[in-house]
């Protein structure tokens, strides 16, 4: 079974609808991240959470909100979806313990979201 | 602020050719980490390598090799004898140390290079 799972894997929705993308992990990691990928722009950080009570905005948080329901779950919500939020969304996790000053991020398989 | 530049948007080669993907980075951190990821057409991100800023040794893994040069802030990736299966988007990424305030463990990605390997 995959360590980082994302649901749904694909979603088509209409402008104005509320959408929730879910991420679950079995790695026991404290840190979780949401990234967005657009063609020609690479991946950009939306939100990140270092533990259940610590949530931080990334570089492109406008139009998004998140919820860290438990250590293993980190959800991304689009309160009122718009077409320019059409993108590939990735969840990632990393450990909190310090090893060599960096902890590898493990990515989920991605959710392809289309807003019509 | 951190920045990663992948100037090559798309590269096309014929199978068995060697190809180098360029990556130039900017950071104020004295300790930092560089990465390469592969994204095949199926969409998932595949981790290829991590390099610490204090380790400038080049690395070779099979047909893949990486050239890290702090003097030019570059971390280039070479595929030797390319194959069709190498066709993918390749991302270079940068992170600061986890102890830096403001979430040093965040990854900054380049815009990616689309590699097409044809028969």
Q: What is the pLDDT along chain B (119 residues), one digit of tens a residue?
A: 889 999 999 999 999 999 999 999 999 988 899 999 999 999 999 999 989 898 888 888 899 999 999 999 999 999 999 999 999 999 999 998 877 666 667 889 999 999 999 99
Residue B17: C-alpha distances to residues A45, B40, B46, B51, B94 (Å): 35, 19, 22, 25, 28
Given its phi and psi angles, is residue A14 left (phi above 0), alpha (psi -120 to 50 degrees) or beta?
beta
Best of B39, B40, B45, B46 to substitute, by most chain A Cβ atoms within 10 angstroms, is: B45
Helix (H), strand (E) at residue A12:
strand A10-13
Vertex A103 angle, CA A49 and B51, to 5°? 135
Question: CB of A97 within 8 A of CB of A81?
Answer: no
Whether B105 sits inside 8 A of A42 (CB atoms) is no
C-beta separation of A19 from A34 below 8 A = no
Residue A78 to residue B10: CA distance in whole angstroms: 32
Going by the DSSP 8-state scheme, the letter that residue B14 receives in this structure is: E
Assess A41–B contact: CB distance below 8 Å, yes or no: yes
pLDDT tens digit string along A52-96? 999 999 999 999 999 999 999 999 999 999 999 999 999 999 876
CB-CB: which of A43, A90, A103 is closest to B105? A103
Residues in chain A: 116
Q: Do A88 and B43 touch (CB under 8 A)?
A: yes
Q: Which pLDDT belongs to residue A94?
A: 87
With residue A49 as reference, give the H or E element that holds it: strand A42-51
Contact A32, A22 (CB under 8 A): no
- Separation between Cα atoms, residue B53 and residue A76, nearest integer Å: 33
Give the C-alpha separation, A90 to A68, whole Å: 16
* pLDDT exceeds cutoff 70 at A98: no
Nearest to A40 among B103, B105, B111 (CB): B111
Q: Do A42 and B99 touch (CB under 8 A)?
A: no
Angle at B92 between CA B86 and CA B94, to 5 degrees: 155
């Amino acid at each position: 079974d995959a360590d980082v799972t994302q649901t749904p894997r694909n979603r088509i929705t209409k402008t104005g609808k509320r959408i929730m993308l879910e991420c679950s992990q079995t790695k026991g990691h404290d840190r979780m991240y949401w990234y967005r990928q657009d063609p020609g722009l690479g991946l950009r950080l939306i939100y990140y959470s270092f533990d259940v009570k610590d949530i931080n905005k990334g570089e492109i948080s406008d139009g998004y909100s998140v919820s860290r329901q438990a250590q293993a779950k980190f959800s991304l919500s689009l309160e009122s979806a718009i077409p320019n939020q059409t993108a590939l969304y990735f969840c990632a996790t990393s450990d909190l313990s310090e090893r060599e000053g960096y902890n590898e991020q493990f990515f989920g398989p991605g959710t392809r979201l289309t807003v019509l | 602020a951190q920045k990663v530049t992948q100037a090559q948007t798309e590269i096309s080669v014929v199978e068995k050719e060697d190809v180098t993907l360029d990556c130039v980075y900017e950071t104020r951190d004295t300790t930092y980490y560089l990465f390469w990821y592969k994204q095949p057409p199926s969409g998932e991100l595949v981790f290829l390598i991590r390099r610490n800023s204090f380790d400038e040794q080049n690395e070779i893994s099979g047909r893949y090799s990486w050239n890290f040069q702090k003097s030019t802030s570059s971390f280039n990736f070479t595929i030797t004898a390319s194959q069709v299966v190498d066709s993918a988007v390749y991302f270079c990424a940068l992170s600061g140390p986890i102890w830096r305030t403001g979430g040093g463990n965040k990854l900054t990605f380049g815009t990616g290079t689309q590699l097409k390997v044809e028969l």
